[in-house]
Each structure stands twice: as structure tokens, then as C-alpha cells.
Chain A
């Protein structure tokens, strides 16, 4: 039933349209790519059995071109093509990326598909972790800022001895500044600082870096915190408060860190349960945007740390080698991953929303 809803239907229409477009582009590009690239100079070299990287062979070829075409523009074009081909071969060897442009054959497509599937798995895993952590940290901040006990605690802290208070505050400021710097740092700075590179990044460190750097966690937690804030001033909360519903965060021990960090967040009869449920529903629908930012973060982790087994490393390699068909194919796979995440997020939102509609 939910799959027939307008939002989901639109995703499938977009998916079908752009898949057809990508497929047409790949078909068009891969047909012309290998034939056009250095084709003339390659055929001359093959016909004369010359090695383009041998100086003597090169001089022979260039002399032959000059003699045959005299000083015509054709001669200049062929000579330029020869030098471009030589540079291309040199670069390809330095990059160890193979001496020729890769064509999009079945085995390459299958290997890229595998890498995209692995990326989709990481993406889902990191997405869940991000969703859970952002909600938990936002709830923690919400409790600290809004709940009665938190305010009383703050008052009591103010009345403490001045020196201890200032020392504590200075320590808190330093810790908060360090935390902000880590959370907002692009991953390559953290990589430099903690000597992360393609040799020592494990599955665990990849996940941690993708969640905790590039500003991904702090911005998503902030998004959920704003939703909690906006819910907390709505009419039903004010009415509940007036009617005496529990709003004190520690009085009955419901709002403990254990409950906040639990995967299934429930705060009993406390008003926070309702606030959380409403904010959670809105956050589900907003998570599409966060997931896109998360993907960007993951790509930066992969490329900045030069993780050579990833799909985006392949994309960079394709861009380097001007392998247009391969680049478009990877783009299509990335498009599928993003669309799949959109569909899943919308499905979860509509499913959750249906509970309240009924």
C-alpha cells in the first residue's frame, strides 16, 4: 500500500528515467571512446611496428609524418597527437593504472557493481549509526538545556566556590573547543593528525571517521535538537505541563543516560516520550538530506585517505584516465545508492506516519 504512494512512485519514475538516460549515455560514449582516442597515431605505430616510447622509433615516425604530409596542418595535428599519446602512456605507467583506457566490459562492470554494493552496505551501516547517535546526543543536549533538574543543577553549580567553578569552566571550554575542532574537521586533517592513510584504515576506523568527522554528526544532531525544541513549545506540550504531566527530567529517574542512549528510546509517562516520538517522525523524513551529506562525508574519507578498494577511488581513476563510460557507469551506481536510500527513508517515514493517521 505504502509503495503505491505518490512520493514512492515519483522515486521510481525518476529512477527509470535516469537509468535509461545513463544507459544511453554509456552506450553512446563507449562506442566512440576507444576508437577516437589516439586512433590515428595508434594505427600508424601499429602499421610500422614502432614503439612510441623508443626515441629512435619516435624520430622515424615523426620524420615520416613530416615527409609525407609536408608542412600541412595534418602533420602538426598528428605530431601533437603523438606527444599527447606518449604523455598519456607515461602518466598511465606512473599511476600504475594500466597502459590503456579501460573499456566498460562485463568483468569491469561486475567488479564496480561489487564495490558499489560494498559502499551501499557501509552507507546503510553508517546511516543507522549516525541516526542513532545524532538522536541520542540531541536528546542529551535537550535534557541539559530544557529540563527542570538541569536548570536547578546549573543554579547550584553557580553557587559553588568561585575558583573551583572557574577552573571547571575553563576545563569544560577547552574540552568543548577540542570536541568542536574534531567534529568539524575535514577528515584529511584528522588523517594527518592521527596518521591515518590507506595502509592503516580498518573497517572500524573508516566507520568512526565517517561518523565523527566532516561535521556530519554535529550537524545532524543539531537538526534533531531543533526538532525537539520546536516540538517542546507546541500547544500539546504546554497543555500537558499545565495539567501536571511530568516534565522534570530526573525526579522519577526516567530520563537517564542509559535510556537516552538506548536504541529503543522510551521515557515512560514523561512528556519527553511524546516530544521524542513527534520529533523522531519528522527527523525520519528529514534524514534524506542528512544521508546525502553523509555520502559526501564518506566520499571525502575514501578519496582524501586514498582508500584504493572503494568505488570513488575507481571514479577518480576513471576521471584521470578520461574513461568517460566507466565514470558514467559509476555515477549511475551512485545514483542508485542515493535513490535507494531515498526510497527506504520515505518508506519508513510513511509507514511510521500511517500509525498516527489511523
Chain B
């Protein structure tokens, strides 16, 4: 079957209408093209390093996001339980904990997490789990606020009270009717935002630690992420070489072959952030999430 991508619509028209799907397609396609390009032009050790760094960054992003939802959900459960049982002390403690988590900048939490990792279990597989745990704890607040926001929205609309009066359990109302049936796009959007924030923070903290604490640790003991790759002197030189393009535009093709390690690590990181932003915005527009 022939699909006319330009005139009669089909997949193209669908993608033009749904900006989130369009950007998800662009992101996956660009990453595939970059993979093929790097496999041809990047030397084997650098290619392996780029693959490992990208996979580690994305996997940590996905696990941390999933864990953040778990922790955020747990905070919501504790809050609702305490509210229903009139446990004002438990509620105050929860508020203080959440407030404290919010009041220290996320990057500081992560730096403390890295330092703890370096001095305690940098050579064990636990280092990945530890980083995911710290990142999840840092972002659990956002998930908590999102879920509470959705629950409060439905509480105001009367729908919630009506279901409670009909004898349906509160757990079922929240999990099924509020979250699963009426808030899935909001939660997906939040997951995209948390994922992008995790990738950004993880790479930044890894960069800072790799440069700032390099005397205290061997870089090979840390999980390799894109931040770690960018902290390498060869990546720095690759990105510095990009300046050459301003003076001599003919250098551009060489940039994508001779300076590929730094350029592809930088591109992967920044393009992931741009794509996440575009996908999130597209989803908000398509599903009309802002009211």
C-alpha cells in the first residue's frame, strides 16, 4: 500500500496534527541516524563509550522516573490516610519532609548523593540503584504535587463526592477513576518532564563531580553518563573545534567526522531535552491539559 506523505495526509497529516507524536518520531529517527553515523565514523572505543553513556543516562532516567512515581504515590497515600484519620502530627511531619526536600536545590541533593556513592560503594552495582534512589527522592515532590492537584480538581467538581456517596471506595476512585481514566495524559506529561529533568541533572552533576572531584576518585568507578563523557578533555576539544565553524564554515563537514565524540554526546543530551520539551508541549496542546 502506498502512503502519500505530503498531499493526502496519512501518517504525515496525523503527525502534523499531533506535535507530540511528530517530535517523538523526530527524536527516535534522529537518534537512529546518529547511531548509524557514529557506527561508521566514530572510532570503536569512543563509539562504545557513547553507547554506554547514552544507555546509562536513559536507563537511569527511566528508572528514576518510575521510582519517583512510586515515592510520590507513597507520599500521596500517607497524606490521604493522615487526612482521613485526622492525624495532624503525621500530616505536619509529611509536610515538613516534603518542604525540606524542596528547600534544598535538587543539584545539591544529587551532589551529596554522588559524594556518598564515591566514598561508600562506587565499585558495586549498587551505585546505579543509589543514584536512581536519590534522583527519585528529589523528584517525588513533583509527582506528589501533580497527583494531589488532580485529586483536588476532581474533589472540587463534585464527581468525587458523588462516587463516595455511592459507596465506592476512595482507593478505587483515586486509582481508577481519577488517575487511570481521567489523568493519564497529565501523568504521562509529568513523567516526560521528570525524565528530562533527571537527564539534565544527572549529566550536570556527573560533569561537576568528574571535573571537581577528580582528585578523590578514579573516573572509571562512576557510572558513565553523557555528563561524564562531556567532562573528558577530548570532548572539550571537540566542542571547542565547533568554534572553528564560525571562522571557517567549510570546517562544518569535518566537525561531524573528526570531532564526533564530543559533538554527538552534546547533541544527544541537548536534543533529548529539546525533544522532551516539544513532546510535552505537544501533549499539553493535543489533550488540552491546561484548563
Chain A: residues with CB nearer than 8 A to chain B?
A: 10, 14, 17-18, 91, 94-95, 180-181, 184-186, 188-189, 192-195, 214-215, 218-219, 222, 226-227, 229-230, 292, 295-296, 299-300, 303-304, 306, 312, 315-316, 319-320, 322, 331, 334-335, 338-339, 342
> What are the residues of chain A within 8 A of B290 when measuring CB–CB?
226-227, 229-230
> What are the residues of chain B within 8 A of A189 when measuring CB–CB?
230, 239, 266, 269-270
Alpha-carbon separation in the docked complex, A208 to B95 (Å): 35
Q: Tell me if A320 and B105 are in contact (CB < 8 A).
A: no
A300 to chain B, nearest CB (A): 5
Q: Which of B115, B240, B269, B277 contacts A192 (CB 8 A)?
A: B240
Q: Tell me if B213 and A316 are in contact (CB < 8 A).
A: yes
> What are the residues of chain A within 8 A of B291 when measuring CB–CB?
230
B208 interface residue (CB < 8 Å to A): yes
Size range of the chain B interface in the assembly: 35 or more
B64 to chain A, nearest CB (A): 16
Q: Say yes or no: A306-B211 contact (C-beta < 8 A), given A193-B243, A226-B290, A300-B107.
A: yes
Alpha-carbon separation in the docked complex, A299 to B104 (Å): 12
Alpha-carbon separation in the docked complex, A188 to B243 (Å): 15
Q: Tell me if A338 and B104 are in contact (CB < 8 A).
A: yes
Secondary structure class of chain B's binding surface, majority of residues: helix
Q: Say yes or no: A188-B201 contact (C-beta < 8 A), given A222-B281, A331-B104.
A: no
A303 to chain B, nearest CB (A): 4
Q: What are 10 inter-chain pairs, A to B, with CB distance below 8 A? A: A186-B269, A192-B240, A215-B277, A227-B290, A292-B106, A296-B106, A304-B204, A304-B211, A319-B111, A320-B215
Alpha-carbon separation in the docked complex, A203 to B270 (Å): 26
Q: Which of A227, A230, A319, A335 contacts B103 (CB 8 A)?
A: A335
Q: Which of B106, B111, B273 has the most CB of A within 10 A?
A: B273
Q: Tell me if B102 and A319 are in contact (CB < 8 A).
A: no
Q: Tell me if A181 and B270 are in contact (CB < 8 A).
A: yes
Chain B: residues with CB nearer than 8 A to chain A?
A: 95-96, 99-100, 102-108, 111-112, 115, 119, 200-201, 203-204, 207-208, 211-213, 215-216, 230, 236, 239-240, 242-243, 266, 269-270, 273-274, 277, 281, 284, 290-291
Alpha-carbon separation in the docked complex, A194 to B274 (Å): 21
Q: Tell me if B204 and A186 are in contact (CB < 8 A).
A: yes
Q: Tell me if A303 and B208 are in contact (CB < 8 A).
A: yes
B29 to chain A, nearest CB (A): 15
Q: Tell me if A335 and B104 are in contact (CB < 8 A).
A: yes
Alpha-carbon separation in the docked complex, A342 to B242 (Å): 41
Q: Which of A14, A192, A194, A320 contacts B213 (CB 8 A)?
A: A320
Q: Which 7 A-B pairs have the closest CB atoms?
A: A192-B239, A230-B290, A303-B208, A295-B105, A184-B273, A296-B107, A338-B103
